[in-house]
Amino acid sequence: MFVVKKVKRSKENIMKRETLFNRRKRRTRANLRKKSDQKLRVSVFRSNKHIYAQIIDDKLGRTIASASSLDKSLSKKYHTGGNKEVATQVGKLLAERALGAGLSKVIFDRGGYRFHGRVKALADGAREGGLSF
């Protein structure tokens, strides 16, 4: 017979998870700085319900283009923003806006998130849309 051990969600566990996420985020960003050659950066934020992406010029500290699952064109078509299909469409929309601004080469910043699921779907959609990274 198996015994299921219940894990308490204490403040220490939550703090540890946030700390690990921030470490991954810092490590990813540091590696990108080494390899970027001053390219613009595609930053991704993922919540449980939605996904957001923006192209950032770190030199100027400005957002060049952005897209999210809350955009009117996507929110009318899809009821939720928390799946891979919507993430792919957000990536395509971001690529379309970037190409409109004259950008084609960027570097992908996944933040502290693993490169799978919705984050990967967004990257694939951006590649399909014409961005190269």
For a pLDDT cut of 70, what percent of the chain falls above it? 91
Write the CATH number for 77: 3.30.420.100
Based on the structure, what is the number of domains in the chain?
1
Find which of 5-19, 32-46, 50-64 is predicted with most confidence, using mean pLDDT: 50-64
Please tell me whether residue 41 adopts helix, strand or coil conformation.
strand
Burial class (CB in 10 A: 0-12, 13-18, 19+), 107: middle
Evaluate whether residue 5 is within a structural domain: no
Evaluate whether residue 123 is within a structural domain: yes
Evaluate whether residue 18 is within a structural domain: yes
Domain range spanning residue 85? 11-129
What pLDDT score was predicted for residue 4? 62
Please tell me whether residue 105 adopts helix, strand or coil conformation.
strand
For a pLDDT cut of 90, what percent of the chain falls above it? 62
Short-list 58, 35, 42, CA closest to 98: 42
Would you say residue 2 has pLDDT above 70?
no
Evaluate whether residue 71 is within a structural domain: yes
3-state percent breakdown (helix, strand, coil) of the chain, nearest 5? 45, 20, 35
| Residue 91 to residue 63: CA distance in whole angstroms | 16
Evaluate whether residue 2 is within a structural domain: no
pLDDT tens, residue by residue, 71-125? 998 988 888 888 999 999 999 999 999 999 999 999 999 998 999 999 999 999 9
